[in-house]
Amino acid sequence: MTDAPVVDELTPPVRTLMGPGPSDVHPRVLRAMGTPLVGHLDPVFLDVMNEVQELLRYTFRTDNQWTLPISGTGSAAMEAAFGNLVEPGDTVLVPSNGYFGHRMASMANRAGGEVVSVDAPWGEPLDPNDVRDAFETHQPEVFGFVHAETSTGVRQPAVSELTEIAHAHDAFVIADTVTSLGGVELRVDAWDIDIAYSSAQKCLSCPPGASPITLSDRAIDRILTRETPVRSWYLDLSLLEGYWGEDRSYHHTAPITNVYALREALRLVAEEGIERRWERHRRVARTLVSGMEDLGLDRYAAEEYWLPSLNTVRIPDEVDETALIDHLLSKYGIEIAAGLGDLAGEVLRIGCMGHSARPANVQYLLSALEESLNRS
Ligand SMILES: *Cc1c(COP(=O)(O)O)cnc(C)c1O
């Protein structure tokens, strides 16, 4: 047997988080996480749950009864969406224009779906005409799309057009709103989205661990009348409803502290006002993008589908991206990220999400970038 390891108290550095997530956490959210634990069936916690659900409906712009946080990160909420809605043998249409569309494909496949794709180059949104053609060719039961593609900095415009096409074919629409919820205009009811899921650590500026999802009555009907049980016990929404629905009976122990954190993060959204928050993200990111252009870093995504919460800029030939990213972190404590997939080596990814979307952060990053770019 070895001796008890001696490990120092944790003193993480204070970073400025301007990458693809997590974003800077608001001090009020961290304080909420330091408050005492109560049991997950304590009447006090049941009130907290109701408040979180109400705040989530406000933030998603929906009246959906089934609106709750899934225990786990955004990928857990994503797997809950695909795993519950897709039955073995269903045809599932997903996009190929970014990293997270590919993750949708793996999850749909594991749920027993037959995956087909609608294509667009990485760095461009889906064209509704291509979606219409794909519906005519494949007649999918489920269509997933990414509202805010964090790998490319592309916002999918004209969401209503996509949901209309899907509903004209009696299909269900799953929207990945991980990098849009609380930061970029998103209207679940007005846009007629059947299921939208998100994460806590992007535009909500909350530590990861409890991830929002909302489901329409039509989606719930389909889930409750499935022919086969959902393959995941943990993420089976028909069971989770026992806890988050009227009964409030035990399914699994909620991540209580993460739910506290989410409540506080959503309280900040409500205090600011959702539309003002969308506007702030656009305004602050606009300053960031024009400042980067002055430094010779051109925006990658076109204006019509620019995503303010995640800005991709082209890397000039003479710039060593790895050295730049390392220098920003070691000298300034600023985190940004490299490109992924087809855009690896082509772009930098700079987040402007939630509490990170502040003029002070933008000015700090721009000065640090200026010094770093002039160094070589
Ligand atoms: C971050 C992200 C996810 C996955 O969320 P995790 O919290 O990392 O599990 C899914 N989709 C998009 C668009 C994301 O940006």
Domain count, the chain: 2
| Residue 223 within any structural domain of the chain | yes
Please give the average per-residue pLDDT across 174-190, as a whole number: 98
| Residue 5 within any structural domain of the chain | no
Residues 263 and 294 in one domain: no
Please give the average per-residue pLDDT across 2-31, as a whole number: 96
Residues 111 and 245 in one domain: yes
Residues 258 and 296 in one domain: no
Confidence of residue 236 (pLDDT cuts 50, 70, 90): very high
Centre of ligand 1 to C-alpha 84, Å, is 18
Q: What is the pLDDT of residue 376?
A: 59
Residues 196 and 215 in one domain: yes
Confidence of residue 375 (pLDDT cuts 50, 70, 90): confident
- 3-state per-residue secondary structure call for 143-193: EEEECEECCCCEECCCHHHHHHHHHHCCCEEEEECCCCCCCCCCCCCCCCC
Residues 283 and 246 in one domain: no
Compute the C-alpha angle 179/180/185, nearest 5°.
Answer: 165
Note the pTM of the prediction, 2 decimals. 0.97
Centre of ligand 1 to C-alpha 74, Å, is 5
Q: Which residues span the domain enclosing 185?
A: 27-270
Residues 284 and 261 in one domain: no
pLDDT tens digits for 301-354?
Answer: 999 999 999 999 999 999 999 999 999 999 999 999 999 998 999 999 999 999
Q: Report whether residue 208 contacts ligand 1, using a CB cutoff of 6 Å.
A: yes
Where among 227, 253, 270 does a domain terminate? 270
Residues 192 and 288 in one domain: no
Q: Report whether residue 122 contacts ligand 1, using a CB cutoff of 6 Å.
A: no
Residue from 71, 75, 343 whose mutation best tests the ligand 1 pocket (most atoms within 8 A of CB):
75
Q: What phi-psi label fits residue 221: left (phi over 0), alpha (psi between -120 and 50 degrees) or beta?
A: alpha
Q: Which CATH number does the domain housing residue 59 bear?
A: 3.40.640.10
Residues 89 and 210 in one domain: yes
| Residue 48 within any structural domain of the chain | yes
Residue from 17, 100, 312 whose mutation best tests the ligand 1 pocket (most atoms within 8 A of CB):
100
Question: Does the pLDDT at position 364 exceed 90?
Answer: yes
Among protein residues, the one whose CA lies closest to atom 6 of ligand 1: 74
| Residue 7 within any structural domain of the chain | no
Residues 142 and 226 in one domain: yes
Distance between CA 314 and CA 299 in Å, rounded?
A: 6
Q: What is the pLDDT of residue 18?
A: 98
Residues 234 and 278 in one domain: no
Q: Report whether residue 351 contacts ligand 1, using a CB cutoff of 6 Å.
A: no
Summary mean pLDDT of the chain: 97
Q: Report whether residue 207 contacts ligand 1, using a CB cutoff of 6 Å.
A: no
Residues 63 and 168 in one domain: yes
pLDDT tens digits for 68-102?
Answer: 999 999 999 999 999 999 999 999 999 999 999 99
Residues 315 and 345 in one domain: yes
